[in-house]
Amino acid sequence: MPTSPATTSARAESPVAAPAAATASGFAYAAAPEATDHIRLRDRYPLFIGGGFEPPAAGVHHPTLNPATEEPLAEVAEADAADVDRAVRAARRAFSSWSRLPGARRARYLFRLARLVQERSRELAVVESLDGGKPIREARDVDIPLAAQHLFYHAGWADKLPLAFAGARARPLGVCAQVIPWNFPLLMLAWKVAPALATGNTVVLKPAETTPLTAMLFAEICQQAELPGGVVNILTGGPPAGRALVRHPDIDKVAFTGSTAVGKEIQRTLAGRGTRLTLELGGKAAHVVFDDAPLDQAVEGVVTGIYFNQGHVCCAGSRLLLQESIAEPFLRRLRARVGRLRVGNPLDKNTDVGAINSREQLERIQALVDSGVAQGAQLFQPACELPTRGYWFRPSLFTEVAPAHRIAREEIFGPVLAVMTFRTPAEAVERANNTRYGLSAGVWTTTGQRILWMAQRMRAGVVWANTYNRFDPAAPFGGFRESGFGREGGPQGLAAYVALR
């Protein structure tokens, strides 16, 4: 439980225990919990191989916990090398017919998957929130609709590949191994599965060990859609399952989203094998606010940029760069806004900041925040009460941060913002680029020319202007440097799944 003292004390509130809590503005929020009586989880989930649910070879299962309560939700199978081999063989068998299907037939399956995700969206949103700790509002309004959008978007491409790759013949690669993290479980699944299937590949996907449940519901959706067996295979398990999958000799492509350290390990594993690879890794994005920005809107953008999904976002705007002349008024507004964020029960529709995904992640966040305090940065945390069970961290911001501090250099992957200042646009660019990552960045200014000037100079795969954390399946997403390589989304994302002749 975080105990660091707040440098400025905001109103204390009881986000979960109290049925209604007064805010600084005097409004009271009644609890508005999302219903869970429509959720029917199995006690135990097997693996999804060849179109059917199959027990793991070694018979090992692990519980998956609700991070807001630490209660087990269900048990999921732990795949081992024998299971990986079965799944890869199933995907290989399915590839010969799936890759020969006319694009319009593959599109039909993808449309069906997209519509079923929409039909089951309430169930998927609640399970995503229960298993991962994210606020139901975000699961309901962002994760699940965007996952459906990715499936729809790629369904649209499936019969138009000659238009995406004019003058060349695009052939599928074969069997794709896909390994995803826990921050956007169903959305990352859709980012991986949709372009692979649209281009005629088959997949073996491994969700993260702490958030496997929506992937297992997606396995049910594949059955409902009557997707041919083996086109999608889903193996649950931890790092050993992921390692066995990317090392399997009969895979043609690896698509990985996760930490930079694991991405590097996968790159070393695949070196010299000729297996295609895309890596979507970590980030330490700069969010730059100029003195001509609309301050209230920029405060909202900065809050979304770092506290959305508890900061468990690879492209989170975790380094705020404020032009010196507006730093004080901006910080005053920002602290007041952070003090009004509602932390607590993820299933409450009023909640802004939910539970931290796991005890391990909570410990990582706390260790980095402790390092910030020890290195002399000034910590602000609102004095909100936290629930007594589960994994929680107050939305936090650091001022008096030096570029050499760990909190300014390392990805925290939690609700922690490091604030620094700059004087000139050139200095803003220099500070923004002072990172080994290069995934995303944000700029707030009313000067259009300055947006373009900054976007050309900031080394980031995505630059948002006067907004933040906007995603669209038609817009390619991906990084530079230690944020990885390859793009997901748009025609560029399709290119990662084909060989051109």
Task: Catalog residues that contact ligand NAD under the rule CB under 6 A.
Answer: 179-183, 206, 208-209, 238-239, 242-243, 246, 257-259, 262, 265-266, 280-283, 314, 411, 413, 439, 479, 483-484
Among the listed residues 454, 426, 434, 427, the one whose alpha carbon sits nearest the alpha carbon of residue 442: 454
3-state per-residue secondary structure call for 307-376: HHHHHCCCCCCCEEEEEHHHHHHHHHHHHHHHHCCCECCCCECCCCECCCCCHHHHHHHHHHHHHHHHCC
Distance of closest approach, residue 27 Cβ to ligand NAD, in angstroms = 34
Give the residue among 123, 131, 146, 134 at the shortest CA–CA distance from 212. 131
Minimum separation from the CB atom of position 246 to ligand NAD (A): 5
Nearer to ligand NAD, 86 or 481 (CB): 481
DSSP 8-class letter at 228: P
Q: Residue holding tokens 């005629």?
A: 200
* Distance of closest approach, residue 265 Cβ to ligand NAD, in angstroms: 5
Least spacing, CB of residue 484 vs ligand NAD, in Å: 6
User: Smallest gap, in angstroms, from Cβ of residue 413 to ligand NAD?
Assistant: 5
Please state the closest distance from residue 279 (CB atom) to ligand NAD, in A. 8
Count of other CB atoms within 10 angstroms of residue 456: 9
Rank residues 334 and 417 by Cβ distance to ligand NAD and give the closer one: 417
Which CB sits closer to ligand NAD, 83 or 411? 411
Which is nearer to ligand NAD, 280 or 348 (by Cβ)? 280
CA 114 to CA 111: how far, in whole Å? 5
Q: Which is nearer to ligand NAD, 323 or 483 (CB)?
A: 483
Residue 237 CB, shortest distance to ligand NAD, in Å, is: 7
Task: Kindly report the number of other CB atoms within 10 A of residue 426's CB atom.
Answer: 11
Distance of CA 488 to the CA centre of its chain: 13
The continuous run of DSSP H or E covering 20 comes out as: strand 20-22
44-45: strand order across its sheet: 44-45, 71-77, 61-66
Q: Minimal CB distance to ligand NAD: which residue?
A: 242
Q: Which bin fits 189, alpha (ψ -120 to 50), beta or left (φ > 0)?
A: alpha
Sign of the C-alpha dihedral computed for residues 339, 340, 341 and 346 taken in this order: positive
Task: Report the interhelical angle of 260-270 vs 239-247 (nearest 10°).
Answer: 30
Length of the chain: 501
CB of 474 vs ligand NAD, minimal distance in Å: 16
Q: Name the residue nearer to ligand NAD (CB basis): 314 or 384.
A: 314
Residue ranges of E strands in 59-116? 61-66, 71-77
Beta bridge partners of 232: 203
Known catalytic residues are 280, 314
Q: Which is nearer to ligand NAD, 29 or 464 (CB)?
A: 464
CA distance 436 to 243: 25
